[in-house]
Structure 1
Amino acid sequence: MKTNTKGSVTVYASLMFLIVLLLLSMCLEGAYLYLGKGKAQGAYMAALAGARGNYQKELEQQYHLFGLDVRYGKQLDGKLAETLKYNLTESRDPFSFYPGSVKTSHKVSLADKRGEILREQIGEFMKYELGKDGIRLLKENVLKMPGEEDASRVREVINESDRKAKEEEEAEVSEKKKEKPVKAKDPRKGLVRILREGIVTVVLGKEAEVSEQNVPIIYGHRDTKKEKNPDFYQAESVSQSLKGRGQDASSSGIKAELMGTAYGVKYFRNYTSKEKKKGLQYETEYLIAGKESEKENLGSVFSKILLMRFLPNLIYVQGDTVKQGQAEALAASILGITGIVPAVKLAKHLLLAALAYGESILDLRNLSEGKQVPLWKSKDTWQMEFAGLSSLTGRRKSVKKGLSYKDYLQVLLFLQTEKQEKYLRMMDVIEDNIKRKVRGFSLKDCYVSFEAETIMSLHPFRFGGVRLPVTGRYQWSMIEVSQY
């Protein structure tokens, strides 16, 4: 009897031990799986972080932009799988991982979304680079420019003179046919003759060395429009040249545009940059003009700055009584007809416009030499006289405080009609420069984000040799998005 009792106790104890062992094994297996998944996730994230560490260093050093090294990106799947396997299998722990291959998809490069990726990275970087004071100063430069109201007022003066001159001329010209007065030399003829040489030659001179390289345009839009000089014998032509000269800094997204503008001027070369380098010389000018050759880009920007200077200079001479008197006397002498007052007044305003244009060319010469020019002229800072207009010569004056060539580039970049265009053109310049250091470089292969997927396998723990109802290995899918 005692023997049977002892046997029952032994069986009972054995069963209890097995149950406890089974429960313990299940708990440990669950903890093992939970910790294993955590370790696998950490190793996977570390592999992705390691991939991001292989950024294109030449791109970051020169432009402070981040994207995967194109050489690493071409073998991204294999590199990720290799790093993941190393992270999981080289450590001394009870986990037995069998990482599968890694497949990447949904890759986004710096060239995607029409420059939007580039714009976002520039905005993030310039927030710290520029700061609030820098943004304020840039905005002030834009706001200092004459407004559309100023341009409209000047155009109205010229157009009104033109209307009155035409009305009076029809009525009185027949009475003056017999008169043959002696006429003075018109300085506008000399001005027009010189302008035919081209704006680059007019500003820099015939002996100046100017880059004529072609721009490798891949992403940006090629601008084929031609700039024209005003016809200072036609009121309509002068008035037309003043259209769109008024500036507006109240548009939406001004902060973001100022970031891109500041970046474009700081990290891209322009005509007045002192350092020498291979490749394109007038990079900022290309961002603004989008022409096919460097000389065209420089000429286009010169023309744009010239017209920006034209409006404030014209406003000044129209309010200067001395200049008005000189222009009226010269107009009467040129026409040789003192009877048609409106015609003389129209000629006066056209001569004032020509004088302001000549002054603007002298301003542009100063700017191209790295000097500053006051936005609004005064008697002390005015340079051009009617006597020097036909040869575009005048006593050039420099000022200590004013706007520089670089300031005007900032304003032109900010006022671009197609805001996204500057980022597309930046991509052209960036790719061309980095390609000189890294053979085969392309922004299309420079990834800023991607999705990585793999199947992870883990061998069961099997504590105490207990086999749980698990067929083979634990498996689960891991999907993560990695981005800069």
Structure 2
Amino acid sequence: MRTNGSITVYMSLVFSVILTLIAGSLQSVRMAYARVLTASAAEQGLYSIFSRFDRKLLEEYELFFLDGGCGTGEWQPGNLYQTAEDTASWILGEGNQILDGFSSGLKLENGSITSYTLATDNDGEAFFRQVCEAMRQNLGTYGIQQLSEKLKNRENAWDAQEEQNRIGDSGQTVEDYEQAVEEAEEAQREQQESEKKSDGEGEDAGGGEEQETTENPEVPQGFVNPIEVIRRIKDMGILSLVLPSGQSLPNQEADLSQFASHRSLQEGLQVIHMEREVEFVDKMLQNEYLLWKFPCYTDKEETGGLQCQVEYAIAGKESDMENLKTVAGQLLAAREAANAVHILASAEKRAQVNAMALTIASALALPAASGIISAALIGCWAFAESILDVRELLDGGKVALVKTDGSWQLSLENLPNLLDGLDSMRKSSEQGLSYEEYLRILLIKEDSGGINSRTMDLVEHNMRTRLGVPDFCIDQCISSMGLEMNLRYGTETLRIERQYAYGTEV
């Protein structure tokens, strides 16, 4: 019996150890499951929040953002956390069926939103990233490469023309013409007085040789000085010159004080502010998105708000008229520079300019001013040609970036008749660029940050005016969020943190 008893005690000890190991293993499994369930609850809570992205924003603009105002226009982070908590509680309730009977189960004690990033944070970094990604998916790698090369070539040609015009220009403009003529008149008077004195001294000394006189070209009957005509035309409004006949001025206005770029913005929580270097390709994608999603003047699209929206992205004015006027002015200046380069490069056109400059100098009795008049005349001719260019662009035509004799429209003789031939003298160039393509060049010359800010303005403006969401605020659109939850399992406290962002899980 003593031997049997010793065996029973031994087996009891062995079974105790085995049961302890089994119980420990079960507890370890239950704890591991509790941790998994905790992580799942937090993640599902975040997913339930981010699954409520703005459908209209996605359908219209290919953007994933969560409306932090829940459609009310008032910032409501508490409602967002409540959504996460409700989802987490449901997950814990289903999962606790396995744990019940072993312990009191998992209980959600408390939690909070620890961080979030808004569309407008870091100068719209999240917005910019999504815009570029939308265009990458839309264009594809090959399309991006082709478009990038084409745009770089056009930008280089644009810059080269501006540089050539800066170097080749004598510095005389139409605005300087009157002052230059006055200076020439004064110089001529001084020369005449000097010659009179010399003639008088020569007669007193017994005579002298006669002065040679330069014969000026004869002024044709009815000759009109084109410089004076262009001076008067320059005083007219830009839009009255460049808008084609039969087209009305866009008249929509917006209150800029309500735009995101002009008001105090809601800021994110625990956002790391950092400098962003924008590469050429990203800037190009940003501009392509703008041209893809927003109308310009030639689209003639009734949006219910601003109609010249691409023009707003460039100019940032409060009305369609002002935005179109600013863009038309930029195009006019750019085309004037390009046209001046063509005139300076053409021996035939320079000869025509010099001949007419002599005629004008003869008409003004200022032969010494012919050089100044030539420079002003080149500026007038280039300006007049640019009016026809921009007018053709706004009428849906095309204008060559680099002019040739074949694509040139206005003869020097017709310069005084510009106003009579604004529509009859212009023509479209099949190999030229459209208005939208010229906007593409203007956009690439603008600062990326400003374009991004005004693009966010347009998204907000259209959501409010055209898509029926009057309380929409772009600075309440959430791109990423961090969540913390504390749960109780028996005597243990489990703490979990999770972050999520549209397009990237952190």
TM tier, smaller: 0.7 to 0.9
- Is 1:373 matched up with 2:412? no
1:335 aligned to 361, 372, 375, which one? 361
- Is 1:430 matched up with 2:459? yes
Distance in 2, Cα, partners of 1:149 & 1:301: 21
Q: Show the counterpart of 1:78.
A: 82
Query: In structure 2, what residue type is equivalent to 1:66?
Result: F
Q: Deviations over 1:20-44 (max 9, x none)?
A: 2122101110121112212321332
Q: Percent identity?
A: 28
Q: Show the counterpart of 1:129.
A: 138
Going from structure 1 to structure 2, the CA distance change for 1:41 and 1:165 (only over 3 Å counts) comes to: same
Q: Once structures 1 and 2 are overlaid, which stretch shifts more, 105-114 or 382-391?
A: 382-391
Q: Tell me the SS of whatever aligns to 1:313.
A: helix
- Is 1:190 matched up with 2:229? yes
Going from structure 1 to structure 2, the CA distance change for 1:275 and 1:360 (only over 3 Å counts) comes to: same
1:339, CA displacement in angstroms? 8.0
**Aligned 8 A contact 1:272 1:369 in 2:** yes
Q: Tell me the SS of whatever aligns to 1:145.
A: helix
Distance in 2, Cα, partners of 1:453 & 1:5: 60
**Aligned 8 A contact 2:298 2:396 in 1:** yes
Q: Tell me the SS of whatever aligns to 2:306.
A: coil
- Is 1:262 matched up with 2:291? no
Q: Show the counterpart of 2:438.
A: 408
1:176, CA displacement in angstroms? 5.7
Distance in 1, Cα, partners of 2:363 & 2:306: 54
Q: Deviations over 1:426-451 (max 9, x none)?
A: 11111111123223111121110121
**Aligned 8 A contact 2:260 2:475 in 1:** no
2:481 aligned to 440, 446, 450, which one? 450
**Aligned 8 A contact 2:48 2:83 in 1:** no
1:146, CA displacement in angstroms? 4.0
1:220 aligned to 251, 261, 269, which one? 261
Query: In structure 2, what residue type is equivalent to 1:405?
Result: Y
1:256, CA displacement in angstroms? 2.0
**Count of aligned pairs between the two proteins:** 439
Q: Show the counterpart of 1:153.
A: 167
Distance in 2, Cα, partners of 1:213 & 1:252: 33
Q: How does 1:175-254 map to 2 (within 5 A)?
A: 175=191, 184-204=223-243, 208-217=247-256, 218-220=259-261, 253-254=279-280
**Aligned 8 A contact 2:361 2:367 in 1:** no
Tell me the C-alpha RMSD between the 2 structures.
Answer: 3.1
Where do 5+ consecutive residues of structure 1 fail to align?
Answer: 223-250, 459-471
Distance in 1, Cα, partners of 2:374 & 2:481: 66
Going from structure 1 to structure 2, the CA distance change for 1:221 and 1:412 (only over 3 Å counts) comes to: farther
Distance in 2, Cα, partners of 1:136 & 1:260: 16
Q: Deviations over 1:222-266 (max 9, x none)?
A: 9xxxxxxxxxxxxxxxxxxxxxxxxxxxx9722222121222222
Distance in 1, Cα, partners of 2:368 & 2:159: 28
Q: How does 1:20-419 map to 2 (within 5 A)?
A: 20-72=18-70, 74=76, 75-91=79-95, 92-94=97-99, 96-130=105-139, 131-147=144-160, 148-156=162-170, 158=172, 171-175=187-191, 184-204=223-243, 208-217=247-256, 218-220=259-261, 253-336=279-362, 342-390=368-416, 391-392=418-419, 393=421, 395-416=425-446, 418-419=447-448
Q: Show the counterpart of 1:233.
A: none
Where do 5+ consecutive residues of structure 2 fail to align?
Answer: 197-212, 264-276
Query: In structure 1, what residue type is equivalent to 2:426?
Result: R
Report the TM-score, using the length of structure 1 for normalisation: 0.82
Report the TM-score, using the length of structure 2 for normalisation: 0.78
Q: Tell me the SS of whatever aligns to 1:399.
A: coil
Q: Deviations over 1:53-82 (max 9, x none)?
A: 211111111211221134548321000011
1:365, CA displacement in angstroms? 0.8
Q: Deviations over 1:67-126 (max 9, x none)?
A: 113454832100001111112222553363212343113221102112222222222222
Q: Tell me the SS of whatever aligns to 2:397.
A: coil
Q: Once structures 1 and 2 are overlaid, which stretch shifts more, 54-63 or 282-291?
A: 54-63
1:337, CA displacement in angstroms? 6.3
Query: In structure 2, what residue type is equivalent to 1:85?
Result: S
